Structure 1
Amino acid sequence: MELNLEQIPREKSLSKKDFLKKYFKPQKPVVIENFIEDWPAHSKWNLDYIKELAGEKTVPLYDDRPVKHDEGFNEPHAKMKMKDYIDLLKSKPTKYRIFLWNVLKEVPELQKDFTYPDFGLRLMKGLPMLFFGGSDSHTFMHYDIDLANIFHFHFEGKKQCILFSQSETRYLYKIPHSLITREDIDFDNPDLEKWPALKHAKGHITQLEHGNVLYIPEGYWHHMKYKSPGFSMSLRAIARKPGNFGKAVYNILFMRHFDNLMRRIKGQEWIDWKNEKAVLRTNNLVSKK
C-alpha cells in the first residue's frame, strides 16, 4: 500500500490572472513548465556555473541525521568549499545538502540572472534562497517557519516533491513544538504498518526538471528528494491568511526559542518526549476519526 498522492497539475504557461484564480485563491499547488525562458539563469545556471562563480565560498552542509538536543536551530553538520561540494555531488551519491543559501548575500552576481516575476503577490526581495542536493539526498517532511507562499524554481537534474496541506497534519506524526514530522518516516517508501495514520493522509506529488516552477501554497508540508544532483531557488511571499500569519509570528517569536530553551534544560529527554508525543497525539486523533 502506498501514500494517497495525486499528481500536481502542470501548466505550460500561466497568466497572473489565471494563477490567482485557479491556484492562489483556492490554495492549490501547480507546476509551471515554461515560465523563465527569458531569464539568463535558464540557460546559464548549472552546477559548473555555480562552481565557477562561488567555488571558493565555504558552504554549510546538512544531512538526514536526526535532530539532537545539543544542536542549535538549523546548525550545519559539516562545511566545505563550494567547488569541493559540487565535485562531490557529481562524483557519487551524498546525503549532504545546502539549504537557505542567500543568493544576494553570498553571490550578488547571480542577481543579474533572474528577475522577480509578477504573480500578483508581493515577493520578499531580500530572501532569494538556493537549495542543493546530491542523488537520493532528501529533506525531512516539514513546513516553513513563516508559512510563506513559495515559488520553487528548479535547475539541473530531477527532483521529487511530495506536498500535504495543513489540513492533513493530524495524520503526519508532527513533532510538537517543531516544524517537522517524525524523522524516521521514509515518505518516499513509508512503512504503513508502522505509521498507519499515513493511510488517511491525502497529498500531492510531482517531479521537477530544469526550468520548472513549483508553487507551494502557504503552510504546505513538503518533502524534497533529489533524483539526481541539482539545485533550486525559492522566492517567497508572506502568508495572507490571518490564521497562517498568526502561526508564523508565533513560530518565529516564541516556538523556536522555547524549543531551544527546553533542549538546553532537558537535553535528549526533551527530543525523546517529543518523538513519543508525536505518535501518541497522532494515534489519538485518528482513533477519534
Structure 2
Amino acid sequence: MKLTEIPRVGSITKDQFLKDYLRPQKPVVIENYIHDWPAYTKWDFEYIRKVAGDKTVPLYDDRPVDYKEGFNEPHARMKMKDYIDLLLKEPTKYRIFLWNVMKEVPELQRDFKFPDFGIPLMKGLPMLFFGGRDSYTFMHYDIDLANIFHFHFAGKKECILFPQSESKFLYKIPHSLITHESIDFSNPDFDKWPALKHASGYKTSLNHGDVLYMPEGYWHYMKYITPGFSMSLRSVARNPLHLSKAFYNVLFMRYFDNGMRRWKGKKWIDWKNKKAIERTEKHLKEQMS
C-alpha cells in the first residue's frame, strides 16, 4: 500500500486548520492541543477504574461478522474494573467501541473542553475507545461519515487511513461499513489482495496527548500496540454527497442488512464477501487496462 506519514504539528490556529486541513480534507496530528485539559494528566486506567469501575461496558473483538448478530452488536459485556484488570494483565482482543461519555459517566465531561476548530461539534456524542495490546479494529468508516477528532490518552496506537476515493481498491463489503475481514492491514498479503498495492492512504502512531483529525468518511484501521484508550469528538459531514450517504446508512442500510441477515443467514454474509472481491477485481482490471 502507498502510505504517507500524516503531518504532525505542535499547535495550530483555527484559521490554519480550516485552510490547510478541513477545506482540502487532509488528516493531521496535533501534538500539544490538550495539555491544558485536566484529562491530559488525570485520565489513565486507574482514574477510569475509579469513576466508572462499576459500569457494565460492551466489548467487541476481531471475530468475523456473524449472520446471527445484529448491526454493531457487542460480543461480550463486563464491568469496567474487570475489563481494565484484563487489559493490564495480558493481551486481549476485547475492545470498547463507541462508549458514550455523556451518557455513561457525565462527570468526565468536567475534564475536557469542546475545542473550537471552526466547525460545530456534536456535544452529545463524545465517545471513548479502549483496546488491549495487539487488538485492532477492522478497516471501516463511520456510519455518519463525520469529521472526527481523535484524542489519545494512554498507550500507543497505530492508525492507517484512506479517503473514500480509495474504496475501489479496499475490498469493501457491500451494504456495510467495513472491508473484507480476512485482510490484515498491518501486514497485507498482496498476492491474495493485489488491489491493495494501488491504494493510497496515510499512516501514523498516536501517543499520549496526540489529536488525530480524520476527514469526513475516511476509512480507518486502528491497532493498539499497548493497552490504551482514546476519545473521539465529531462534526457532521459538510460534503452533500457524504451527508446524503450518511442519511442512507442510518435510515436504510443498517436495517436492510439486519433484515437480510435474518432472512438469508450465512448465505447473505458469504454473498457480500464474494461480491467485495469480485467488484474490487473488476476495478483493478479497469485500472490496469
Which TM class, normalised by the smaller chain length?
over 0.9
Output the CA distance in 2 between the equivalents of 1:44 and 1:271: 43
2:189 is matched by which residue type in structure 1? D
2:84 is matched by which residue type in structure 1? I
Output the CA distance in 2 between the equivalents of 1:193 and 1:162: 20
Query: 2:170 aligned with 1:162, yes or no?
Result: no
Output the CA distance in 1 between the equivalents of 2:259 and 2:35: 47
Query: 2:253 aligned with 1:225, yes or no?
Result: no
Percentage of matched positions with identical amino acids: 71
Q: Which residue of 1 aligns with 2:104?
A: 106
Segments of 5+ residues of structure 1 without an aligned counterpart are: none
Q: Which residue of 2 aligns with 1:97?
A: 95
Q: Which residue of 2 aligns with 1:70?
A: 68
2:257 is matched by which residue type in structure 1? D
Q: Deviations over 1:232-261 (max 9, x none)?
A: 000000000000001000111111111111
Correspondence list, 1:122-161, <5 A: 122-161=120-159
2:28 is matched by which residue type in structure 1? V
The offset of 1:74, in angstroms, is 1.1
The offset of 1:128, in angstroms, is 0.2
Q: TM-score, normalised by structure 1?
A: 0.99
- Pairs aligned (count): 287
Q: TM-score, normalised by structure 2?
A: 0.99
CA RMSD of aligned residues (A): 0.4
Q: Which residue of 1 aligns with 2:55?
A: 57
Q: Which residue of 2 aligns with 1:35?
A: 33
Q: Deviations over 1:88-111 (max 9, x none)?
A: 000111000001000011001101
The offset of 1:73, in angstroms, is 1.1
2:119 is matched by which residue type in structure 1? L
The offset of 1:223, in angstroms, is 0.2
- DSSP 3-state at the match of 2:158: strand
Output the CA distance in 2 between the equivalents of 1:243 and 1:77: 33
Q: Deviations over 1:145-169 (max 9, x none)?
A: 0000000000110000000000000
Q: Which residue of 2 aligns with 1:26?
A: 24
2:92 is matched by which residue type in structure 1? T
Output the CA distance in 1 between the equivalents of 2:149 and 2:68: 33
- DSSP 3-state at the match of 1:43: helix
The offset of 1:14, in angstroms, is 0.4
1:288 is matched by which residue type in structure 2? E
Output the CA distance in 1 between the equivalents of 2:143 and 2:115: 23
The offset of 1:4, in angstroms, is 1.2
Q: Which residue of 2 aligns with 1:174?
A: 172
1:47 is matched by which residue type in structure 2? F
Q: Which runs of 4+ in 1 moved over 4 A?
A: none
Output the CA distance in 2 between the equivalents of 1:195 and 1:114: 42
2:164 is matched by which residue type in structure 1? Q
The offset of 1:50, in angstroms, is 0.2
Q: Which residue of 2 aligns with 1:45?
A: 43
Output the CA distance in 2 between the equivalents of 1:260 and 1:79: 21
1:125 is matched by which residue type in structure 2? K
